[in-house]
Structure 1
Amino acid sequence: MHQRPPVVHHAPPAPEAPRTPGAPPAPHVPKARHAAPAPVVPHPEPRGVGRAAVSPPPAAAHLADTGADPALLGAASGAAVGLVLGGGVLYRRGRAMAGA
């Protein structure tokens, strides 16, 4: 029969006392330069821009044509309904076979 070696308990080392870190160095702040403010220059209005160049909105405003065909949307929604129903049928069949 084997004899176990004696168990020796070691105390963990004592934790160090918390220290306050030193103050961080002051950030570098560049010396302020006093420059003369930029002169204000009026910009001339470009040619062709102004009240006379703005055209009135069209009389019959409509949304942009996105290319969506109503018949294609109907077919896609019908296919989506068929897929959802088919998935439900397969789910029910799988549950029924697992319970049998």
Structure 2
Amino acid sequence: MRAVITVIGKDKVGIIAAVSNILAESDVNILDISQTILQDVFTMIMLVDISKCNIPFHNLSEKLEAKGVELCLKIQIQHEDIFNSMHRI
């Protein structure tokens, strides 16, 4: 089972490390990652494998959102099928 994580906010040191640490602690594997900085705006999309996640999905979502609040970022995770449905053209 896969999920998509999106991160948007003002660029600062440690964003990727903060998200990656939460994922590692939760046994979530990063399958693909794309990140860019537009002037000082950081954007990142991660495709992750949540099949071996050791906490419920809603807890993972809460941890990521809380880290976003702490870092003044917007961090969201969605199941891949929901993400694809919402972004279909």
The question of a shared fold, defined as TM-score above 0.5 by the shorter chain, is answered with no
* Higher RCO, Cα 8 Å, sep 6+: 2
Structure whose CA Rg is larger = 1
Shorter-chain TM-score category? Answer: under 0.3
More strand by share: 2
